[in-house]
Protein backbone atom coordinates (compact mmCIF):
# COMPACT_ATOMS: atom_id res chain seq x y z
CA UNK A 1 0.00 0.00 0.00
CA UNK A 2 1.38 3.38 -0.98
CA UNK A 3 1.41 5.85 1.91
CA UNK A 4 0.57 9.46 1.12
CA UNK A 5 2.28 11.95 3.41
CA UNK A 6 0.59 15.26 4.17
CA UNK A 7 2.67 18.37 4.81
CA UNK A 8 1.10 19.96 7.86
CA UNK A 9 0.79 23.76 8.14
CA UNK A 10 2.26 25.34 11.24
CA UNK A 11 -1.03 26.76 12.54
CA UNK A 12 -2.64 24.31 14.96
CA UNK A 13 -6.14 24.49 13.53
CA UNK A 14 -4.91 24.49 9.93
CA UNK A 15 -2.82 21.48 10.87
CA UNK A 16 -5.93 19.72 12.17
CA UNK A 17 -7.90 20.55 9.04
CA UNK A 18 -5.17 19.09 6.84
CA UNK A 19 -5.32 15.80 8.77
CA UNK A 20 -9.11 15.67 8.46
CA UNK A 21 -8.94 16.36 4.71
CA UNK A 22 -6.52 13.45 4.38
CA UNK A 23 -8.87 11.18 6.34
CA UNK A 24 -11.86 12.16 4.23
CA UNK A 25 -9.97 11.41 1.02
CA UNK A 26 -8.99 7.95 2.24
CA UNK A 27 -12.53 7.23 3.47
CA UNK A 28 -14.12 7.45 0.02
CA UNK A 29 -15.80 4.16 -0.93
CA UNK A 30 -16.47 2.79 -4.42
CA UNK A 31 -19.43 0.58 -3.50
CA UNK A 32 -22.98 1.88 -3.02
CA UNK A 33 -25.80 -0.09 -1.37
CA UNK A 34 -29.18 0.74 -2.82
CA UNK A 35 -31.75 -0.12 -0.21
CA UNK A 36 -32.13 -3.12 2.02
CA UNK A 37 -33.54 -4.08 5.39
CA UNK A 38 -32.77 -5.80 8.68
CA UNK A 39 -34.81 -8.84 7.74
CA UNK A 40 -32.37 -11.72 7.31
CA UNK A 41 -33.50 -15.20 8.39
CA UNK A 42 -32.42 -16.80 11.66
CA UNK A 43 -29.04 -18.53 11.46
CA UNK A 44 -27.26 -20.67 14.06
CA UNK A 45 -23.54 -20.50 14.84
CA UNK A 46 -21.04 -21.90 17.34
CA UNK A 47 -18.16 -19.86 18.79
CA UNK A 48 -15.48 -20.61 21.36
CA UNK A 49 -15.30 -17.05 22.68
CA UNK A 50 -16.42 -13.45 22.25
CA UNK A 51 -14.49 -10.16 22.13
CA UNK A 52 -16.48 -6.95 22.57
CA UNK A 53 -15.46 -3.43 21.68
CA UNK A 54 -16.68 -0.95 24.26
CA UNK A 55 -15.67 2.71 24.51
CA UNK A 56 -14.50 5.75 22.54
CA UNK A 57 -17.77 6.76 20.82
CA UNK A 58 -18.76 3.17 21.01
CA UNK A 59 -21.98 1.63 19.76
CA UNK A 60 -21.35 -1.98 20.79
CA UNK A 61 -22.22 -2.19 24.50
CA UNK A 62 -22.98 1.47 25.19
CA UNK A 63 -23.47 4.51 22.98
CA UNK A 64 -21.24 7.16 24.49
CA UNK A 65 -21.15 9.38 21.38
CA UNK A 66 -22.68 12.43 23.08
CA UNK A 67 -20.39 12.12 26.09
CA UNK A 68 -17.27 11.72 23.95
CA UNK A 69 -18.30 14.67 21.76
CA UNK A 70 -18.63 16.90 24.83
CA UNK A 71 -15.29 15.58 26.11
CA UNK A 72 -13.44 16.57 22.92
CA UNK A 73 -15.10 19.99 22.89
CA UNK A 74 -13.92 20.50 26.46
CA UNK A 75 -10.44 19.27 25.60
CA UNK A 76 -10.37 21.55 22.55
CA UNK A 77 -10.73 24.57 24.81
CA UNK A 78 -7.95 23.32 27.09
CA UNK A 79 -5.57 22.68 24.19
CA UNK A 80 -6.64 25.71 22.13
CA UNK A 81 -7.85 23.67 19.16
CA UNK A 82 -10.98 24.02 17.07
CA UNK A 83 -13.20 21.51 18.88
CA UNK A 84 -15.16 20.28 15.85
CA UNK A 85 -12.04 19.63 13.85
CA UNK A 86 -10.37 18.03 16.87
CA UNK A 87 -13.34 15.68 17.20
CA UNK A 88 -13.11 14.74 13.53
CA UNK A 89 -9.40 14.08 13.89
CA UNK A 90 -10.01 11.73 16.83
CA UNK A 91 -12.34 9.43 14.88
CA UNK A 92 -10.81 5.97 14.57
CA UNK A 93 -7.83 6.85 16.76
CA UNK A 94 -6.92 6.23 20.37
CA UNK A 95 -6.65 9.41 22.42
CA UNK A 96 -2.92 8.85 22.83
CA UNK A 97 -2.48 8.75 19.04
CA UNK A 98 -4.53 11.91 18.50
CA UNK A 99 -2.43 13.70 21.10
CA UNK A 100 0.82 12.47 19.53
CA UNK A 101 -0.27 14.22 16.34
CA UNK A 102 -1.53 17.44 17.83
CA UNK A 103 -0.21 17.97 21.35
CA UNK A 104 2.83 15.72 21.90
CA UNK A 105 3.50 17.21 25.31
CA UNK A 106 0.19 15.70 26.50
CA UNK A 107 0.72 12.31 24.86
CA UNK A 108 1.33 10.20 27.96
CA UNK A 109 -0.83 7.63 29.72
CA UNK A 110 -1.05 9.57 32.99
CA UNK A 111 -2.73 12.47 31.18
CA UNK A 112 -4.91 10.25 28.97
CA UNK A 113 -6.09 8.16 31.93
CA UNK A 114 -6.93 11.28 33.92
CA UNK A 115 -8.97 12.99 31.20
CA UNK A 116 -10.64 9.79 29.97
CA UNK A 117 -11.39 8.63 33.51
CA UNK A 118 -13.37 11.82 34.10
CA UNK A 119 -15.74 11.17 31.18
CA UNK A 120 -18.04 8.57 32.80
CA UNK A 121 -18.04 10.46 36.10
CA UNK A 122 -18.83 13.89 34.67
CA UNK A 123 -20.62 13.02 31.43
CA UNK A 124 -22.13 9.63 32.17
CA UNK A 125 -25.69 10.93 31.89
CA UNK A 126 -25.06 11.40 28.17
CA UNK A 127 -24.53 7.68 27.50
CA UNK A 128 -27.11 4.94 26.89
CA UNK A 129 -26.96 1.17 26.68
CA UNK A 130 -27.08 -0.50 23.30
CA UNK A 131 -30.32 -2.55 23.24
CA UNK A 132 -29.62 -6.17 24.06
CA UNK A 133 -26.15 -5.55 25.51
CA UNK A 134 -26.98 -6.19 29.17
CA UNK A 135 -28.92 -9.36 28.41
CA UNK A 136 -26.14 -10.70 26.16
CA UNK A 137 -23.44 -10.18 28.79
CA UNK A 138 -25.63 -11.64 31.53
CA UNK A 139 -26.22 -14.83 29.52
CA UNK A 140 -22.53 -15.23 28.70
CA UNK A 141 -21.66 -14.77 32.37
CA UNK A 142 -24.36 -17.24 33.47
CA UNK A 143 -22.91 -20.06 31.34
CA UNK A 144 -19.28 -19.15 32.16
CA UNK A 145 -18.49 -18.44 28.52
CA UNK A 146 -15.12 -17.05 27.50
CA UNK A 147 -15.46 -13.36 26.67
CA UNK A 148 -13.49 -10.15 26.97
CA UNK A 149 -13.68 -6.43 26.34
CA UNK A 150 -11.10 -5.18 23.84
CA UNK A 151 -11.18 -1.40 23.79
CA UNK A 152 -9.34 1.55 22.27
CA UNK A 153 -9.99 3.42 25.50
CA UNK A 154 -7.87 3.48 28.63
CA UNK A 155 -8.49 1.18 31.59
CA UNK A 156 -9.75 4.20 33.53
CA UNK A 157 -12.37 4.85 30.84
CA UNK A 158 -13.45 1.21 30.60
CA UNK A 159 -13.73 0.78 34.38
CA UNK A 160 -15.61 4.06 34.69
CA UNK A 161 -18.24 3.11 32.11
CA UNK A 162 -18.72 -0.36 33.60
CA UNK A 163 -19.37 1.20 37.01
CA UNK A 164 -21.61 4.03 35.80
CA UNK A 165 -23.66 1.76 33.54
CA UNK A 166 -23.66 -1.13 36.09
CA UNK A 167 -22.52 -3.62 33.47
CA UNK A 168 -20.79 -6.87 34.48
CA UNK A 169 -16.99 -6.66 34.40
CA UNK A 170 -15.35 -8.98 31.87
CA UNK A 171 -13.28 -11.99 32.96
CA UNK A 172 -10.37 -10.44 31.03
CA UNK A 173 -9.82 -7.25 29.06
CA UNK A 174 -7.43 -5.44 26.74
CA UNK A 175 -7.15 -1.66 27.00
CA UNK A 176 -5.35 0.98 24.96
CA UNK A 177 -2.29 1.10 27.23
CA UNK A 178 -1.49 -2.55 26.57
CA UNK A 179 -0.78 -2.42 22.83
CA UNK A 180 1.64 -0.36 20.79
CA UNK A 181 -0.79 0.43 17.96
CA UNK A 182 -4.51 1.08 17.89
CA UNK A 183 -7.14 -0.39 15.59
CA UNK A 184 -7.15 -1.33 12.69
CA UNK A 185 -3.90 -2.94 13.84
CA UNK A 186 -4.95 -6.44 15.01
CA UNK A 187 -2.66 -6.51 18.07
CA UNK A 188 -5.48 -5.75 20.52
CA UNK A 189 -7.68 -8.59 19.29
CA UNK A 190 -4.74 -10.96 19.04
CA UNK A 191 -4.01 -10.21 22.71
CA UNK A 192 -7.71 -10.67 23.49
CA UNK A 193 -7.63 -14.13 21.92
CA UNK A 194 -4.55 -15.00 23.93
CA UNK A 195 -6.04 -13.84 27.23
CA UNK A 196 -9.26 -15.79 26.67
CA UNK A 197 -7.22 -18.90 25.93
CA UNK A 198 -8.13 -18.86 22.25
CA UNK A 199 -5.01 -18.59 20.13
CA UNK A 200 -5.33 -18.40 16.35
CA UNK A 201 -5.43 -22.20 16.09
CA UNK A 202 -7.72 -23.07 18.99
CA UNK A 203 -11.28 -22.08 18.20
CA UNK A 204 -13.60 -19.77 16.37
CA UNK A 205 -13.85 -16.34 17.99
CA UNK A 206 -16.54 -13.71 17.38
CA UNK A 207 -15.64 -10.03 17.55
CA UNK A 208 -18.56 -7.65 18.15
CA UNK A 209 -17.75 -4.22 16.72
CA UNK A 210 -19.38 -1.07 15.39
CA UNK A 211 -16.44 0.82 13.90
CA UNK A 212 -14.81 0.13 10.53
CA UNK A 213 -11.32 0.24 12.07
CA UNK A 214 -12.34 -2.25 14.76
CA UNK A 215 -13.97 -4.56 12.21
CA UNK A 216 -10.78 -4.56 10.15
CA UNK A 217 -8.73 -5.30 13.29
CA UNK A 218 -10.97 -8.24 14.19
CA UNK A 219 -10.77 -9.74 10.71
CA UNK A 220 -6.99 -9.28 10.62
CA UNK A 221 -6.77 -11.16 13.93
CA UNK A 222 -8.48 -14.16 12.33
CA UNK A 223 -11.89 -13.65 13.95
CA UNK A 224 -15.42 -13.63 12.59
CA UNK A 225 -17.06 -10.22 13.06
CA UNK A 226 -20.61 -9.22 13.93
CA UNK A 227 -20.93 -5.58 12.87
CA UNK A 228 -23.40 -3.29 14.62
CA UNK A 229 -24.79 -0.48 12.48
CA UNK A 230 -25.30 1.69 15.56
CA UNK A 231 -22.83 4.56 15.10
CA UNK A 232 -21.52 4.16 11.54
CA UNK A 233 -23.22 3.76 8.18
CA UNK A 234 -24.24 0.32 6.98
CA UNK A 235 -22.05 0.86 3.92
CA UNK A 236 -18.93 1.47 6.00
CA UNK A 237 -19.59 -1.51 8.28
CA UNK A 238 -20.02 -3.83 5.28
CA UNK A 239 -17.06 -2.38 3.41
CA UNK A 240 -14.83 -2.97 6.46
CA UNK A 241 -15.52 -6.70 6.17
CA UNK A 242 -18.16 -7.57 8.78
CA UNK A 243 -19.50 -11.10 8.29
CA UNK A 244 -22.95 -10.15 9.57
CA UNK A 245 -24.50 -6.72 10.12
CA UNK A 246 -27.27 -6.11 12.67
CA UNK A 247 -28.93 -3.08 14.16
CA UNK A 248 -28.04 -3.90 17.78
CA UNK A 249 -27.48 -6.83 20.14
CA UNK A 250 -31.16 -7.77 20.26
CA UNK A 251 -30.33 -9.63 17.03
CA UNK A 252 -27.82 -11.91 18.80
CA UNK A 253 -29.27 -14.57 21.07
CA UNK A 254 -27.06 -16.70 23.32
CA UNK A 255 -28.67 -20.15 23.14
CA UNK A 256 -26.42 -22.13 25.48
CA UNK A 257 -23.23 -24.11 25.95
CA UNK A 258 -22.30 -27.20 23.94
CA UNK A 259 -20.81 -30.34 25.51
CA UNK A 260 -17.40 -29.26 24.20
CA UNK A 261 -17.58 -25.87 25.96
CA UNK A 262 -18.39 -23.77 22.92
CA UNK A 263 -21.35 -21.40 22.80
CA UNK A 264 -24.34 -21.65 20.48
CA UNK A 265 -25.73 -18.33 19.25
CA UNK A 266 -28.48 -17.30 16.88
CA UNK A 267 -28.41 -14.25 14.62
CA UNK A 268 -31.61 -12.86 13.19
CA UNK A 269 -32.76 -9.73 11.39
CA UNK A 270 -29.35 -9.28 9.79
CA UNK A 271 -28.99 -6.66 7.06
CA UNK A 272 -30.00 -7.86 3.60
CA UNK A 273 -29.23 -5.42 0.74
CA UNK A 274 -31.71 -5.18 -2.13
CA UNK A 275 -28.96 -4.79 -4.72
CA UNK A 276 -25.32 -3.79 -4.91
CA UNK A 277 -23.80 -1.49 -7.51
CA UNK A 278 -20.03 -1.27 -7.77
CA UNK A 279 -18.29 1.69 -9.33
CA UNK A 280 -15.93 0.29 -11.96
CA UNK A 281 -14.37 3.59 -12.99
Of the residues 53, 63, 210, 248, only one is catalytic, namely 53
Element (H, E) at 30: none
* Closest alpha carbon to 225 in 150, 128, 125: 150
Of the residues 30, 58, 82, 210, only one is catalytic, namely 58
Residues 175 and 151: beta-carbon distance below 8 Å: yes
The answer to whether the bond into 184 is cis (omega within 30° of 0) is: yes
Beta bridge partners, 147, equal 50
Residues 101 and 85: beta-carbon distance below 8 Å: no
Tell me how far apart the alpha carbons of residues 86 and 98 are, in angstroms, rounded to a whole number.
9
* Closest alpha carbon to 248 in 29, 52, 32, 33: 52
Local structure of residue 18 (DSSP, 8 states): H
DSSP for 146-157? -EEEE-SS-HHH
58 is catalytic: yes
Tell me how far apart the alpha carbons of residues 242 and 127 are, in angstroms, rounded to a whole number.
25
53 is catalytic: yes
Coil/strand/helix, residue 201: coil
Element (H, E) at 137: helix 133-142
Q: Which residues contact 18 (CB under 8 A, 6 or more apart)?
A: 6, 7, 8, 9
Question: Taking CA 262 as the corner, what is the angle to CA 264 and CA 165, rounded to the nearest 5 degrees?
Answer: 70
Which sequence positions are flagged as catalytic? Answer: 53, 58
Amino acid sequence: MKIKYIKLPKSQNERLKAIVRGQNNMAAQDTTYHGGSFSGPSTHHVFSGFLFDMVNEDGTLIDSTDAITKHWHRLGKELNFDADVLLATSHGRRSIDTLKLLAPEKANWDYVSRVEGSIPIELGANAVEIPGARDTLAKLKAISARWAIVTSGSKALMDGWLEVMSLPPPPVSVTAEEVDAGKPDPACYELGRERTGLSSSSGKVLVIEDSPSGIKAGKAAGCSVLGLASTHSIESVIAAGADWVVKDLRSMEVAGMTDSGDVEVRFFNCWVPDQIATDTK
